[in-house]
Structure 1
Amino acid sequence: MLEQLLIFTRGGLILWTCKEIGNALRGSPIDTLIRSCLLEERSGAASYNYDAPGASYTLKWTFHNELGLVFVAVYQRILHLLYVDDLLAMVKREFSEIYDPKRTSYSDFDDIFQQLKKEAEARAEEMKKSKQVGKPVNNNLVKKQGQVMKGSMDGSNKKNSGGDSENGGGDGENLKGHLLENGNFNKNHVINRELPRMVNSNGKENGSSNVGAFDVNKLQKIRGKGGKKTDATVNKGSKVEPKKKVVKKNRVWDDSPIEPKLDFTDPVSENGEENIAIVAADQGESMMDKEEIMSSESESEEEDIGKNGKVETKNKGWFSSMFQSIAGKSNLEKADLKPALKALKDRLMTKNVAEEIAEKLCESVAASLEGKKLASFTRISSTVQAAMEEALVRILTPRRSIDILRDVHAAQEQGKPYVAVFVGVNGVGKSTNLAKVAYWLQQHKIKVMMAACDTFRSGAVEQLRTHARRLQIPIFEKGYEKDPAIVAKEAIQEASRNGSDVVLVDTAGRMQDNEPLMRALSKLIYVNSPDLILFVGEALVGNDAVDQLSKFNQKLADLSPSPNPRLIDGILLTKFDTIDDKVGAALSMVYISGAPVMFVGCGQSYTDLKKLNVKSIVKTLLK
């Protein structure tokens, strides 16, 4: 039974809903569909599954892009209604004929809908009956295949009768199952069948004792055709000179004096006390507080010097010369959009966007443009590019604002420290970028404390201790082989006692498939309930970013004992200065997780931390 069918505008105004619903929908499937699919550029999907306590729904939808209407059908997932797609198409066609932007009530559409539903159900029943009856078997085709198989068996038996007198006709029967697979002649099995029957140098077949022997003369003839000489053709009388042994020369050690110590992490004064320099005076202002200046739009044009020495402006836009403009095109169809979307997908993949994400984005853009009227002399490519640009900006713009400074001050008013946990895979730079965040918070007069909860990797505590000494920040550590959840809990208690405003928790790097370490991370998050969970990922990864983030979230959800598990809240992208224009990992991570990119690491000093410039990323992806 169809639970609900709604018609509403893209602005959110509900125009019509079917009146036959007896029970109200559990949960909010329509709102979830709008947030998770329509606003997140996943509208190219075929359907959406929504789970609520006591009910599971499937939602299907279609658009009328010219009128700006959305048609959504909701039904119980267990029913597998076959007529929903057909019904949505008919409702879309009929409602578009009576739609008036000035009207807000369409009570006269109730009777039309009932008739359309009966027609769709009747059509689905006819299709179901036809599938149950099935198609009759074509006896002529079966007879023809049998004749082909019989002829193949006879030919193979005649050919093999002279060589296998002991086996008689048994080989033909054994070969029968190999020659015909699913009605197709398989040449590979015939070749494999004849390989053991080699020919010797006298031209006679080898007996059963030499089955599988290899003919060297035959190999020489084959290799001789290519003009290459083999070792087998070397005369027996010629002697091969033995190779001279390479004698390793003795190493001469340099008597130069020993280099001075290169590690200046812990400088010591003459009296034996540590001499710690204040980094803030040397590093300057963090890039997080600097507004990035956007370049002008003319950057999309590059200047080339022609043969005559004059500067020529050359547009390097990849859409410019690819498609011709279409004059007077009434409505866009999938066939019109396919070439432009194919080129757009390839362009996104060259920018390191995961293939799956690029394909879904193109499907979503196609769904938003199909049926839309195109103005005269308007290039399809420019229309597609504009739609994709809007989609990318919508994806990369955070759905909810996460202002750490504001949240820290809110936690201060409540008398508790603000806790941020840094998680991620091995070697992405969690400790280094944690120190960058600590330096940025210090500049805003916030008391920060580090918690060394990476009790697994050797040297992790010492690494974080070095950052803490350089920044003159207190650090809470308990050494190695301790439970990180307990260490983090004690660190938060210590921060409450000494008046620290923020606790930055460093965790061990772990692969997304390492269940013991993922279980320990889930326990740490469950026990301490941090205010922010930051996933630290490399900007260098492509398709692996999707796997990392999706599995991290999945493991945190599966292994948490809480009914409402905490997932990743934000992303910190590292090594952003090493990727040039391959910025697609940022898009892939945000699309797959829905979490915003809050920080971007772009260097090795403490100031090299900045915000993600959405306009710059979109421009780089599409240029």
Structure 2
Amino acid sequence: MLEQLLIFTRGGLILWTCNELGNALKGSPIDTLIRSCLLEERSGAASYNYDAPGAAYTLKWTFHNELNLVFVAVYQKIFHLLYVDDLLAMVKREFSEIYDSKKMVYNDFDEKFRQLRKEAEARVEDMKKSNQVAKPVSNNNLSKKQGKVQKIGLTGGDNKKSSSDSGSDGGDGEKSKGRKSENGNGLANGNRDGYGKSTAKGSTNGKENESSNNGAFDVNKLQKLRAQGSKKTNAVVNKVPKVEPKKKITKKNRVWDEAPVESKLDFTDPVNGDENIVVVAANEGESMMDKEEILSSDSDSDDSEDEDNEDGKMDKKPDTKKKGWFSSMFQSIAGKANLEKADLEPALKALKDKLMTKNVAEEIAEKLCESVAASLEGKKLGSFTRISSTVQAAMEEALVRILTPRRSIDILRDVHAAKEQSKPYVVVFVGVNGVGKSTNLAKVAYWLQQHNINVMMAACDTFRSGAVEQLRTHARRLQIPIFEKGYEKDPAIVAKEAIQEASRNGSDVVLVDTAGRMQDNEPLMRALSKLVYVNSPDLVLFVGEALVGNDAVDQLSKFNQKLADLSPSPNPRLIDGILLTKFDTIDDKVGAALSMVYISGSPVMFVGCGQSYTDLKKLNVKSIIKALLK
């Protein structure tokens, strides 16, 4: 049953809704569709499923890009309404004829909608009846065809052709190839019996094997070829120079009386060793987080030239193949009435390939292109405008919307707000193995220190050997407190005690380090879900590498899925932000940032770009888009 049909502008002005249905929607499916799908460049999808407590809806939509209108239909998820697509298309066509940009109310469209709905429902009923009538006929035809196929398969091909063509003059190459493909049993020019003997003269690639009428090949020739081959190989082997055997490396004897080079190798715990060790606080200057990245005008001009050149290349492919030079030039000068999907496909294909070469996951690149096509289809192409330039501009706008965060996350502001409430601000770092969680946690701590914020580290990686010592080294260099309980402890309990300790000693921020875990490791993912559920952190940061491509989609989607499935809360806590590491190693292949943001909807809050504590910066959206599209 259709619950709602809504017509509104891209600016959010509701023009018409069907009043006759009278059903109040549970939850907010339309708002969720706009936030999660239309604004996030997922409008190329066929439908959207909205699930909420007591509500399960399916939403379908279409656009009128020339008039900037959106048509949305909502119906119960358990019903599969076949007429919704046709109804949306008819409503779009009829409403566009009466639409006036100065008019706000369209009460006169109610009667027209009732007619269109009845027409769409009647069309589906006629389709069902015609399918039911046509079913037995199609089955009979299918059984006849299957009988013919089985008959042909049993006889081994067309017997008339095989008998006439397998005469003594069977040297025609084309005929023998045709017979070979017709027989279907892999034999050429004649049938063989069950023991592999040939009953007719053999033919291979259209040439007769006249040397022997009884066998498939001449044994004498084969023996001669083998003898010649063995002589050649022997000659080649004799020419190869002898390799001298390597001298055996003898191991030097260890001298045990010598004093060791270093009296102490482990400097991580000064309490157990020499207490006189003095650690100088790390002061490497201002963090890159507080520096604004400025793009030079030279690079901008170069990029614009590259974009123009790329536009030219992209435009030549679709236009020269289909319409020729003159027609393509005339179209760009005079403009095109309405863009169709076929016009956009060549430019979108080139753009998809470009995104994939920049390390964007294939699935994400394809969805982006579908969304851009949905936003351009039906639009009028202006004069002196190329299709490729229009597609590139639309893609650039889409990338800006995706990479710009949906909600503002200002850590410094949130820390001060938590400080006023006399509680510490808790950040949990999660991610897979070896991405650099501990190192970048120390970079974040260094940046917070520069803003006069008291930081405490919590060593909750109780799984990996050496993790506590690594974090302890960073804490000592930064001269900040660390809370640790050793190994083989429950990380959720360690984090809880660390937060309590931070409340007692007046720390403003608690940075929780967790063990690296693969997204398919359920025991470790269950422990992480418990840590997040028990401690309710203010920020959950996913630490991922900028080197990954398609794996970024799998990692983030499964982390979010596991956090949702394994949490006992009805409203589970998911990933809030992304910290992208090893960004200085990828040159212009920055597609992982786009893939991660698109799949999770969370912003990239930090970018790690080096080994020192200052090498942490913000994501520059403009530079990312330039790198992706140049």
Shorter chain as normaliser: what TM range? 0.7 to 0.9
2:471 is the alignment partner of 1:474 = no
- In the alignment, residue 276 of structure 2 is paired with which amino acid? E
Cross-structure match for 2:132? 132
1:203-352 pair list within 5 angstroms: 229-230=229-230, 246-251=245-250, 253=252, 272-280=275-283, 283-296=284-297, 299-301=300-302, 317-323=309-315, 325=329, 326-328=332-334, 329-352=336-359
Which residue is equivalent to 2:156?
A: 152
> Are the structure 2 counterparts of residues 216 and 574 from structure 1 closer, same or farther at C-alpha, using a change threshold of 3 Å?
farther
Instruction: Give percent identity, aligned residues only.
Output: 75
Shift of 1:607: 0.2
Aligned pairs for 1:431-446 within 5 A: 431-446=438-453
Check conservation: 1:9, 1:70, Cα contact below 8 A: yes
SS in 2 for 1:144: helix
Contact 1:267 1:276 in 2 (8 A): no
Corresponding residue to 1:455 among 447, 462, 472? 462
Within a 5 Å distance, the mapping from 1:511-530 to structure 2 comes to 511-530=518-537
CA distance in 2 between counterparts of 1:493 and 1:568 reads 23
Q: Secondary structure at 1:229's aligned position in 2?
A: helix
1:91 aligns with 2:91: yes
Q: Distance in 1 between matches of 2:194 and 2:425?
A: 74
Give the C-alpha shift of residue 614 in structure 1. Answer: 0.6
Amino acid at match of 2:105: S
User: AA paired with 2:343?
Assistant: D
> Structure 1 residues 591 and 194, CA, compared in 2 at 3 Å: closer, same or farther?
farther
Question: What is the one-letter code of the residue matched to 1:284?
Answer: G
SS at match of 2:520: coil
How far the C-alpha of 1:253 sits from its partner, in A, is 4.9
Question: Which residue of the other structure, out of 473, 476, 495, is the alignment partner of 1:488?
Answer: 495
Tell me by how many angstroms 1:194 deviates: 8.8
Kindly state the Cα deviation for residue 294 of structure 1 after the two structures are TM-superposed.
1.7
Tell me the secondary structure at the aligned position of residue 312 of structure 2. Answer: coil
SS of 2:516 mapped into structure 1: coil
Match of residue 72 from structure 1: 72
Superimposed CA distance per residue, residues 216-235 of structure 1 (whole angstroms, 9 cap, x where no aligned partner): 989767878xxx82489879
**What runs of 5+ residues in structure 1 fail to find an aligned partner?**
160-183, 207-214, 304-312
Structure 1: distance between partners of 2:346 and 2:110 = 40
Q: Which residue of 2 aligns with 1:357?
A: 364
**Counterpart-to-counterpart distance in 1, 2:378 and 2:117:** 24
- In 2, Cα distance between equivalents of 1:586 and 1:266: 35
Contact kept, 8 Å, 1:300 with 1:315, in 2: the verdict is no
* Aligned-pair CA distance for 1:274: 1.7
Matched, 1:403 2:404: no
Q: CA deviation at 1:55?
A: 2.6
User: In the alignment, residue 152 of structure 2 is paired with which amino acid?
Assistant: V
| Contact map agreement 2:314 2:350 (CA 8 A) in 1 | no
Using the alignment, how far apart are the partners of 1:553 and 1:314 within structure 2? 38
Separation of aligned partners in 2, 1:196 and 1:429: 66
Q: Is the 8 A contact 1:534 1:568 kept in 2?
A: yes
Q: CA separation in 1, counterparts of 2:18 and 2:225?
A: 77
Query: CA 1:330 to 1:455, structure 2 compared with 1: closer, same or farther past 3 Å?
Result: same
Contact 2:440 2:608 in 1 (8 A): yes
Q: Which amino acid aligns with 1:148?
A: I
2:627 is the alignment partner of 1:617? no
Distance 2:26 2:601 in 1: 24
Mean Cα displacement is larger for which, 601-610 or 130-139? 130-139
What code does the residue aligned with 1:327 have? I
Rounded to whole Å, the distance in 2 between the matches of 1:423 and 1:480 is 18
CA displacement, residues 204-257 of structure 1 (integer Å, 9 cap, x when unaligned):
889xxxxxxxx9989767878xxx82489879xx99999888253334759999
Kindly state the Cα deviation for residue 187 of structure 1 after the two structures are TM-superposed: 4.5
Structure 1 residues 117-143: Cα deviation after superposition (integer angstroms, max 9, x where no partner): 111000000111122223412266345
In structure 2, the residue matched to 1:565 is: 572
Distance 1:314 1:241 in 2: 53
Cα distance in 2, alignment partners of residues 373 and 483 from structure 1: 61
| 2:411 is equivalent to residue 382 of structure 1 | no
2:268/2:472 contact within 8 Å kept? no
Amino acid at match of 1:383: T
Q: Describe the superposition over 1:352-388 as per-residue Cα deviations: whole angstroms up to 9, x where unpaired.
A: 0000000000000000000011111211111111111
Q: What is the DSSP-based 3-state SS (H/G/I as helix, E as strand, rest coil) of the residue aligned with 1:322?
A: helix
SS at structure 2 position matched to 1:16: strand
Q: Relative to 1, partners in 2 of residues 1:525 and 1:239: Cα closer, same or farther, differing over 3 Å?
A: closer
The aligned amino acid for 1:480 is: Y
Aligned to 2:591: 584
Structure 1 residue aligned with 2:550, among 521, 524, 543? Answer: 543
**Does residue 1:21 correspond to 2:21, yes or no?**
yes
| In 2: Cα distance, 1:45 partner to 1:221 partner | 66
Task: State the match for 2:58 in structure 1.
Answer: 58
TM-superposition CA deviations, 1:532-567 (whole Å, max 9, x none): 000000000000000000000000000011111100
Aligned to 1:181: none
546-555 vs 126-135, greater mean Cα deviation:
126-135
Q: For 2:247, what is the secondary structure of its paired residue?
A: coil
Measure how far apart 1:317 and its partner are.
3.5
State the distance in 1 between where 2:306 and 2:74 align: 52
1:9-54 deviations in Å (ceiling 9; x for gaps): 0000010011112320111110011011100000000011111222
Q: What CA distance in whole angstroms lies between the structure 2 residues aligned with 1:271 and 1:151?
A: 93
Kindly state the Cα deviation for residue 524 of structure 1 after the two structures are TM-superposed: 0.5
CA distance in 2, matches of 1:221, 1:13: 88
Aligned counterpart for 2:423 among listed residues 416, 420, 431:
416
What TM-score, normalized to structure 2? 0.83
- Answer yes or no: is the 8 Å Cα contact 1:267–1:275 preserved in 2: no
Q: Distance in 1 between matches of 2:25 and 2:441?
A: 45
Q: Is the 8 A contact 1:424 1:535 kept in 2?
A: yes
Change (3 A) 1:330 1:203: closer
Letter in 1 for 2:29: P
Q: C-alpha displacement at 1:268, in angstroms? A: 8.0
Equivalent-residue separation in structure 2 for 1:117 and 1:622 (angstroms):
44
* DSSP 3-state at the match of 1:327: helix
Measured in 1, the distance between the counterparts of 2:241 and 2:623 equals 66
Contact 2:268 2:469 in 1 (8 A): no
Change (3 A) 1:338 1:241: closer
Change (3 A) 1:515 1:133: same
Whether contact under 8 Å (1:267, 1:274) holds in the other structure is: no
In angstroms, what is the RMSD of aligned CA positions? Answer: 3.7
| Aligned equivalents of 1:546, 1:271: Cα separation in 2 | 48
In 1, the alpha carbon distance for the partners of 2:229 and 2:586 equals 49
Q: 1:5, 1:74 within 8 Å by CA — same for their partners in 2?
A: yes
Distance 1:564 1:515 in 2: 20
Cα distance change, pair 469–196 in 1 and its aligned pair in 2 (3 A): farther
